[in-house]
Structure 1
């Protein structure tokens, strides 16, 4: 990356975000990059969920992220961001170049992808949506506890079997009390 930055005279056009950076500073950095019509690129080999992707999109940044893992679900390719394959660096780089070239030809393109990302976040990834899903799941679980009596016979059978296997010798070694 450093060689490419030098080769194409891109010094001052990149901001590296540290993994241990303060979240408030990340938000300010995302906002700064968005204000200067930049983009967020997350080329991880795999990303389980993609919180940084959501943070960047929430800031209005056109986002390029790995197609492996959570970002594949978060981003709608070409509408709210772009999927990149980190194993195909040339294609990923070309996708970023194509985006910025299109932005130079059509100044509304950056805004279109930015708004698409913001809309996607509002559709799927707000605290309100998360809270509602969590409360719904909690309600379903809580309600089912009161409306049905779970079949504990299988669990009891398993416990008895494990006890018999693991503790039978131990049980035999316990002396019987005088009352029995």
Structure 2
């Protein structure tokens, strides 16, 4: 990557963000990148859920993330972000470059993808939605435990 940065004179055009343990600082980094009309790229080979993807989208960042695992479900490709295949670096980098080229000619494109990401988060990944799903699951478990005499069956096997 450093050779590519030199070759294409990209110094100062993007930043590497190492693992952060300070959650407040994470939010500030995402917000700063969003305020400067940047994007978030998560090129993992596989990501089980994709918390960083949700965090970036929650800040309004257009997001590029692996098409393997959780991000494939979180992002609606081309609407709320973009899927990239980490096994095909050329097509992933072309996709990112095409996005910024389009944003140059049509600044509303960045805003549309940003808003699409925010909409997706509000529809699927809020704490309220999570709490409602958790309550539903606990109700289902409680009902199943009651009708199957789960507690009694466990004691009988001991």
TM beyond 0.5:
yes
Q: Matched residue of 2:149: which SS?
A: coil
Match of 1:108 in 2: 108
RMSD: 1.7
Match of 1:57 in 2: 57
Larger RCO (CA under 8 A, 6+ residues apart): 2
Matched-pair contact (CA < 8 Å) for 1:17–1:26? no
**Distance (Å, rounded) in 1 between the aligned partners of 2:41 and 2:118:** 16
Q: TM-score under structure 1 normalisation?
A: 0.81
Match of 2:4 in 1: 4
Q: Identify unmatched segments of 5+ residues in structure 2.
A: none
The Cα of 1:140 is off from its aligned counterpart by 1.7
Q: TM-score under structure 2 normalisation?
A: 0.92
Q: Identify unmatched segments of 5+ residues in structure 1.
A: 160-180
Match of 2:142 in 1: 142
The Cα of 1:148 is off from its aligned counterpart by 4.5
Match of 1:74 in 2: 74
**Distance (Å, rounded) in 2 between the aligned partners of 1:147 and 1:74:** 35
Give runs of ≥4 in structure 1 deviating > 6 Å. Answer: none
Q: Matched residue of 1:144: which SS?
A: helix
Matches within 5 A, 1:1-180: 1-150=1-150, 152=153, 156=157
**Distance (Å, rounded) in 2 between the aligned partners of 1:93 and 1:21:** 28
